[in-house]
């Protein structure tokens, strides 16, 4: 169908959704963020009953018996398991709609740039089945830029680097649209994988994703820290097969993360090479804005700035930028309607 917006009638019960690989964040016009939950749910395989969603479900990852499954239905920023995503969204949206008497809301949802038409339809259908009356899509880098406070409507180039859990997306924005963009399915989850493999190969210890995420959050850094940090972790010693505690340092974690950081920098450089010279000039003057959970990696702004020779700034509350961008889009549809993703027939 053609892009069709009814600008009138948006009310306080319409909502914005950041449908992230790691977390789902829901906003309501005028109220801000009203729900933040991990994109995980637990289901009884025997009868399909949802036993837990969000934070409670995440605690069960890797700990369930055979007849219970803990599922992350979103992968690399898109729906990997449609039925599971639909069930999870329905559960979460029902919480919000009941709590705030939202009925069947219209929804603005952030999606990865370069999303296919099949993936677009999957997102729309999942939200409609979960209770939405109407769904509008906005590319995540655009939503992140709006949420970071950039004036995307002006005729000036802005570069946003959104480092999420499943994808890293880079976009150059001007006049309310994305001029150049690129993405890779390498981000926070890939860092967790690298940490798990590094600890397995260098410390002879098997750990799970929950421990890897803790290591990333506490020790993750893009360059060596002035004062090195360390963390005691517990896992299964691969030789004996028994539980064992070992010490991992920030220097080791930085070494483990280095290939991912390098891929992100390569993506930024490649996007700059495709950007019109006038907009590159704007970016050099205005700098690069980092959003998403990856923006919280220590010194990542310094490393990117050194490698690109462009100032780099971390957005305020980078984890919330996409969600806040969907919320601001709802609040100012007259100005930001061109930022929405136009659908094709």
Please tell me if the domain spanning 15-144+321-339 has the same topology as the one spanning 189-256. Answer: no
Residue 222 and residue 261 in contact, taking contact as beta carbons nearer than 8 Å: yes
* Two structure tokens written together for 142: 């655009």
- Region 9-33 average pLDDT: 81
- Whether residue 343 is predicted with pLDDT greater than 60 in this model: the reply is no
- More reliable by pLDDT, 104 or 322: 322
Share of the chain above pLDDT 70, in %: 95
Residue 13 and residue 102 in contact, taking contact as beta carbons nearer than 8 Å: yes
- Whether residue 6 is predicted with pLDDT greater than 50 in this model: the reply is no
Under CATH, to which class is 149-186+259-318 assigned? alpha beta
How distant is the alpha carbon of residue 96 from its chain centre? 20
- More reliable by pLDDT, 5 or 214: 214
- Region 152-166 average pLDDT: 94
Domain 15-144+321-339 classified CATH 1.10.1060.10?
A: no
Reported as a single tens digit per residue, the pLDDT across 56-83 is 888 888 788 889 988 888 887 778 888 8
Q: What is the pLDDT of residue 81?
A: 83
Angle at 25 between CA 110 and CA 212, to 5 degrees: 100
Mean pLDDT across the chain? 89
- Whether residue 5 is predicted with pLDDT greater than 60 in this model: the reply is no
Q: How far apart are CA 308 and CA 161, in angstroms?
A: 13
Q: What is the pLDDT of residue 2?
A: 31
Reported as a single tens digit per residue, the pLDDT across 90-104 is 888 888 888 888 778
Reported as a single tens digit per residue, the pLDDT across 116-125 is 888 888 888 8
* Two structure tokens written together for 180: 């150049």
Residue 292 and residue 162 in contact, taking contact as beta carbons nearer than 8 Å: yes
Strand order in the sheet with 177-184: 177-184, 168-174, 158-163, 288-291, 312-314
Q: What is the pLDDT of residue 1?
A: 33
Reported as a single tens digit per residue, the pLDDT across 192-234 is 999 999 999 999 999 999 999 999 999 999 999 999 999 999 9
Q: Which CATH number fits domain 189-256: 3.30.470.30, 3.40.640.10, 3.90.640.10, 3.30.930.10?
A: 3.90.640.10
Q: How far apart are CA 30 and CA 32, in angstroms?
A: 6
**Domain ranges in the chain?**
15-144+321-339, 149-186+259-318, 189-256
């Amino acid at each position: 169908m053609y892009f069709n917006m009814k600008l009138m009638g948006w009310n306080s019960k319409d909502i914005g959704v950041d449908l992230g690989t790691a977390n789902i964040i829901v906003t309501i016009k005028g109220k801000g963020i009203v729900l933040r939950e991990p994109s995980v749910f637990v289901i009884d395989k025997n009868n399909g009953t949802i036993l837990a969603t969000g934070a409670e479900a995440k605690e069960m990852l890797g700990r369930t018996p055979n007849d219970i499954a803990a599922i992350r239905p979103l992968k690399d920023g898109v729906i990997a398991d449609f039925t599971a995503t639909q069930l999870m969204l329905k559960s979460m949206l029902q919480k919000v709609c009941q709590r705030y008497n939202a009925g069947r809301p219209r929804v603005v949802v952030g999606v990865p740039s370069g999303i296919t038409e099949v993936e677009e339809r999957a997102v729309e259908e999942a939200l409609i089945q979960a209770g939405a009356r109407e769904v509008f899509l906005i590319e995540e880098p655009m939503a992140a830029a709006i949420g970071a406070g950039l004036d995307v409507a002006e005729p000036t180039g802005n570069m946003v680097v959104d480092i999420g859990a499943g994808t890293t997306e880079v976009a150059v924005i001007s006049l309310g649209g994305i001029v150049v963009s690129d993405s890779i399915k390498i981000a926070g989850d890939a860092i967790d994988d690298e940490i798990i493999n590094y600890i397995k190969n260098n410390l002879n210890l098997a750990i799970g994703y929950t421990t890897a995420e803790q290591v990333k959050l506490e020790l993750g850094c893009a360059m060596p820290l002035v004062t090195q940090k360390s963390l005691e972790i517990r896992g299964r010693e691969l030789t004996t097969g028994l539980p064992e505690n070992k010490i991992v340092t920030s220097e080791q974690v930085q070494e483990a993360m280095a290939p991912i950081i390098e891929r992100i920098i390569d993506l930024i450089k490649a996007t700059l090479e495709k950007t019109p010279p006038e907009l590159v000039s704007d970016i050099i003057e205005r700098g690069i804005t980092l959003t998403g959970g990856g923006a919280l990696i220590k010194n990542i702004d310094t490393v990117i700035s050194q490698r690109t020779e462009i100032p780099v700034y971390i957005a305020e509350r980078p984890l919330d930028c996409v969600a806040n961008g969907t919320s601001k889009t709802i609040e100012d549809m007259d100005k930001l309607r061109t930022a929405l993703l136009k659908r094709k027939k």
